[in-house]
Amino acid sequence: MTAPTISGLEHADLDEVLVIEKAQFDDPWSLQTLCDELDDASRRYTKAAFGEVVAGYLGLMVLDAEAEAHVNTIATAPGVEGRGVATALLVEGLRAVVDRGVRGVTLEVASRNLRAQRLYARFGFAPVGVRRGYYPRSGDDALVMWVREVHSASYAARLAAIEAA
């Protein structure tokens, strides 16, 4: 199985991203929201591609003053589940934010999205709380997850093991 290529997400990719947004989320982001996110200096957006086709994307918000990052969004295109897209995006993204001095990363995930929760657990994310009714369209709760000490040698070894698997 060929690994996806990871590179920076660009405005030219947003038509493909919108298709993925609409397929994967109950309340997809608009083109304007995606443009605003790409233009925000505190954000880091990457895409995974097989050839020229966007297979997924990851958005991170880096809070330099707190040495923290937040996963704003991650999604894969329908039909590429199980091909390592989300894993490759997270490995590359977490390494990049560690290089910027990040020590901890947080995210919210829908309480019903067990597949994503298992993925995040592989990366060491652990639940620390619940945001009730966080997702307005579905009314789903969000599970708040954190991973700490991402700058440590043991975490680098964890990422290397995930990448090798």
Domain region containing 97: 5-164
Residue 149 CA to residue 155 CA, distance in Å, equals 7
Domain count, the chain: 1
Beta pairing class for 43-50 and 126-131: unpaired
Residue 94: count other Cβ atoms within 10 Å of its Cβ.
25
Residue 151 exposure: Cα atoms within 13 Å on the Cβ side? 11
Percent of the chain topping pLDDT 90: 90
In this prediction, residues 114-134 reach a mean pLDDT of 96
Give the chain's mean pLDDT.
95
106, 22 Cβ separation under 8 angstroms: no
Taking only the tens place, the pLDDT of each residue in 67-83 is 999 999 999 999 998 89
Q: CATH no. for residue 9?
A: 3.40.630.30
pLDDT tens digits, 89-117: 999 999 999 999 999 999 999 999 999 99
Residue 137, pLDDT score: 87
DSSP string for residues in 82-109: TSSHHHHHHHHHHHHHHHTT--EEEEEE
Confidence class of residue 1 from pLDDT cuts 50, 70 and 90?
low
Q: Is the pLDDT of residue 8 over 80?
A: yes
**pLDDT tens digits for 10-33?**
999 999 999 999 999 988 999 999
